[in-house]
Amino acid sequence: METFRPQLILAPTDFSETAAHALRYASALGERFDAHLLVIYADSFMPAVDFAAIPGGSFDLAQQKMIAEARETLEVHVEMNICASVPYEVRVVVGSPVMAIVEEACETGADLIVMGTHGRSGLRRILLGSVTADVMRLAPAPVIAVNAATPETADVRKVLVPVTFEPLSRNALPYAAALASAPDTPIVFLQFADDDGPLVDTLDRLFRLQQWIPDELGDRCEFKIMPRRDADRNIASLAKFTNSDLIALTIPEGRELGDVLRGTLAERVIRQSGCPVLTINSFVGRPVEAAVPAYR
**90-140: per-residue pLDDT in tens?**
999 999 999 999 999 999 999 999 999 875 544 343 333 478 888 999 999
Domain CATH number, residue 36: 3.40.50.12370
Cα–Cα separations (whole angstroms), residue 205 to 19, 118, 171: 39, 35, 20
Residue 176 confidence (pLDDT): 92
Q: Is 276 in contact with 145 (CB distance < 8 Å)?
A: yes
Tell me if 2 is assigned to some domain: no
Tell me if 3 is assigned to some domain: no
Cα–Cα separations (whole angstroms), residue 55 to 3, 58, 87, 94, 212: 55, 6, 42, 21, 65
Tell me if 1 is assigned to some domain: no
Residue 257 confidence (pLDDT): 46
Task: For residues 161-166, give the mean pLDDT.
Answer: 90
Tens-digit pLDDT profile for residues 252-269: 876 554 454 556 888 889
Our count of domains for the chain comes to 1
Tell me if 12 is assigned to some domain: yes
Q: Is 145 in contact with 270 (CB distance < 8 Å)?
A: yes
Say if residue 46's pLDDT is above 90: no
> Confidence band (pLDDT; 50, 70, 90) for 214?
confident
Q: pTM of the prediction?
A: 0.89
Residue 219 confidence (pLDDT): 84
* Domain of residue 71, residue span: 8-295
Residue 99 confidence (pLDDT): 92
Nearest to 284 by CA among 39, 160, 103, 111: 111
Residue 128 confidence (pLDDT): 38
Tell me if 151 is assigned to some domain: yes
Task: For residues 153-173, give the mean pLDDT.
Answer: 91
Tell me if 171 is assigned to some domain: yes
> Confidence band (pLDDT; 50, 70, 90) for 52?
low
> Confidence band (pLDDT; 50, 70, 90) for 216?
confident
